[in-house]
Amino acid sequence: MKLVVNGKEEIFDDNEISVSKLLVLKDVKLPQMVSVQLNGEFIQADEHESRMLKDGDNVEFLYFMGGGR
């Protein structure tokens, strides 16, 4: 299926992809440091496992960035 991940269109062989699985497929090492936005809505961390993605979904990974000084 086709997903738009961080603004880039990508094709995945698998059609059964949860948010958690996408984080693994995209090689996100520390999923706890990522906030996931699916089609403009934020998905709570405890829903990552159960939330399945659909063809054409738009997913953004927002990363915690704590630095500044």
Which chain residues interact with another protein by CB under 8 A? 6-7, 30, 32-33, 35, 37, 40-42, 44, 60, 62-69
Give the number of other CB atoms < 10 A from CB of residue 33.
13
Instruction: Specify the 3-state DSSP secondary structure of 58.
Output: strand
Nearer to another protein, 16 or 46 (CB): 46
Nearer to another protein, 16 or 29 (CB): 29
Backbone angles phi, psi at 32, to 5 degrees: -65, -15
Nearer to another protein, 13 or 67 (CB): 67
